Structure 1
């Protein structure tokens, strides 16, 4: 039985278009990385991921009509499948040895901040601000765990729309950048009565992005920066259990909804375990065992940053500003309240942790 020439030709066009779309996103991401390296932008602690989603959104809402329609498959691949692979390899930036350096105080700080911020952010977003479930969870995840990278990981698990991720990333950018300037000022003004360990715990436990943590803590000292970075990476490590729990919760919600719709209480839907979270954990273990030479790890991390930038750029291209505008003010208000919580609640948690482990 022979295949239809028309179908074969159509498949070839689709495949070729997807490849062109991926290549287009890759070239866009390369330009974004060069732009993010400019002193004026790098000095603000703005990562290529952030520049990517902004640049992608500007293109997607102005010039996208000029992009061939069959390239959309490649853009979608970059925003979905490539994203999952990149999040998994993000684990090579974390090692169990580093996490052990801050011990129980660092782990306790991270767990308390992540859990409280996720719970507060989700409840606040859905109940008080009347945001939809996905937008509320994405906002909470960006503030609680590791900024834009967490938003990307949660977006992949929730399978939410790109504009919801864009709203959450916007909140992360605004308040994370503010932290870089506000936290050192608060420390110098004497509003933060903490020793070097305490400063490291507070900065690493409450600032959104890794680059923002380094930028803020470097204004205090080298030791505080070292501690803050490790605490921050401990929060990143918590991405795995949180995503697994999210998968369980989503499966139960779907089963409950299906049961309610059909009048039954049992459904057949399986728990969706995000494989990239397990991949992330595997990469952490590889990094902890020092299987790869340092140069190889650096090279993979550079490629991973490029892949994450591609994913964020593609997400920006698929974002519709009109949709962002609908949830924008309420999502931003949620992000602000969470930011106030991270400062006030974070200080209280840091004092408590230091007191308990003194």
Structure 2
């Protein structure tokens, strides 16, 4: 606690900027013109963050610590608190189809990244697999977790993060539009939510897209996404075994288990057992809305679209190819599995 108090003056400026963006976003979505577009406050927050960040607002050193706090710790806390909205009964209601879809999506997307990035585009294997991991599992978090396993260079990591955030943001905007026009594309809102959770890159982007749909789709999307996040651990084992360059040292590869995903399940279990007083739920969910809004703003502020120019067009082509694969291939996988098991 004393260490946190000493850091507070450094954290406040950036955190307050993220809070302000989140607050403005909540006000903007009340404007009828924006409301008719189906944009949620979290979607608007990341777009405002991208705009301000790439105009230079977050390049002042004094803002960076608070932005990073919001992008990392507050995002994880927001996802954990989201578990208060769900129960294990909700997870069981998705059925086995959700898990089968997630396993197929993660495996097929990583294979597509290898084939398209390494074999066709001739990208370094580390760069291709970083973009693949971010697209397949959980966006920038998966990129950062995979980087030490693959012993990737810093510039490859930066480009991969910018790529998956860019295409994840496009997916975040596109899915609610598809839902608005074809809400029963997969048979139900729940099925569409599973499709959303199994194909959008970032956890926060899935939350934003789901919240722009309806409650059934939003809950199914997050549960499906969190199942996908839990696949990060076995995916890293595979990347460490097959993906690293020939000179990589086994002793330096570490398995990263996403603690916030485990905590999400713990909180969901607490809610399932009825251990949270009902009077606490509304305030905690409002706090969760604020934390997720700040995290989305920070994600936009921290993303440098200029990083994409460093490696030329190939990472963008790979990101675009995987974006199409997630949308089209993911739709086919979702349709097939939900037809068989749904």
Q: Which TM-score applies when normalising by structure 1?
A: 0.69
Q: Is 1:285 the equivalent of 2:269?
A: yes
TM-aligned CA distance change 1:325 to 1:236, over 3 Å = same
1:44-68 Cα offsets, whole Å, 9 max, x none, are 343433322322232223353895x
CA distance in 2, matches of 1:138, 1:239: 12
Aligned pairs for 1:258-273 within 5 A: 260=247, 266-267=250-251, 270-273=254-257
Give the Å deviation of 1:97.
0.6
CA 1:123 to 1:79, structure 2 compared with 1: closer, same or farther past 3 Å? Answer: farther
Q: 1:276 to 1:293 in 2, by over 3 A?
A: same
2:73 pairs with 1:84: no
**Cα distance in structure 1, aligned partners of 2:222 and 2:25:** 25
1:98-129 per-position Cα deviation (integer Å, ceiling 9, x unaligned): 12223234443444344433543465345444
Equivalent of residue 26 in structure 1, options 19, 23, 34: 19
Q: Give 2:93's aligned residue.
A: 101
For 1:118 and 1:305, locate their aligned partners in 2 and report how far apart those are by CA, in whole Å: 32
User: Are 2:147 and 1:154 aligned?
Assistant: no
Cross-structure match for 1:6: none
The answer to whether the 8 A contact 2:40-2:211 is kept is no
Residue in 1 that maps onto 2:194: 204
Q: CA deviation at 1:238?
A: 0.9
CA radius of gyration, larger in? 1
Residues 37, 116 of structure 1: alpha-carbon distance in 2 compared, 3 angstrom cutoff? farther
List per-residue Cα deviations over 1:158-198 (Å, max 9, x = no partner): 5786664443233233344334444676789xxx6x7x46x
Q: Distance in 2 between matches of 1:102 and 1:140?
A: 20
| Correspondence list, 1:230-309, <5 A | 231-248=220-237, 260=247, 266-267=250-251, 270-294=254-278, 296-309=280-293
Instruction: Report if aligned partners of 2:159, 2:315 keep a CA contact under 8 Å in 1.
Output: no
Deviation at 1:342, TM superposition (A): 4.4
Corresponding residue for residue 178 of structure 1:
174
TM-score (norm 2): 0.72
Aligned CA distance change for structure 1 residues 45 and 310 (closer, same or farther; 3 Å): same
Kept in 1, the 8 Å contact 2:86–2:271? The answer is yes
Report what 1:139 is aligned to: 135
Residue in structure 2 matched with residue 53 of structure 1 by the alignment: 46
1:167 matched to 2:163: yes
- Structure 2 residues not aligned, in runs of 5+: 148-153, 201-205
Count of aligned residue pairs for this structure pair: 320
The Cα RMSD (Å) is 4.1
Aligned residues of 2:139 and 2:164 also touching (Cα < 8 A): yes
Call closer, same or farther: CA 1:163–1:315 in 2, change over 3 Å: farther
Q: Secondary structure at the match of 1:61?
A: helix
CA distance in 1, matches of 2:311, 2:30: 31
Residues in 1 aligned to 2:333 and 2:58: alpha-carbon distance in whole angstroms:
50
Partner Cα distance (2:32, 2:313) in 1: 31
Q: Quote the Cα distance in structure 1 between the aligned partners of 2:331 and 2:218.
A: 17
**What is the rounded CA distance, in whole Å, between the counterparts of 1:340 and 1:136 in structure 2?**
13
Q: Could you say which residue in structure 1 is the equivalent of 2:37?
A: 44
Does the 8 Å CA contact 2:162/2:307 hold for their aligned counterparts? no
Task: Please give the alpha-carbon distance, in whole angstroms, between the structure 1 residues aligned to 2:225 and 2:46.
Answer: 21
Unaligned runs of 5+ in 1: 1-10, 142-149, 219-224
Q: What residue number does 1:312 align with?
A: 296
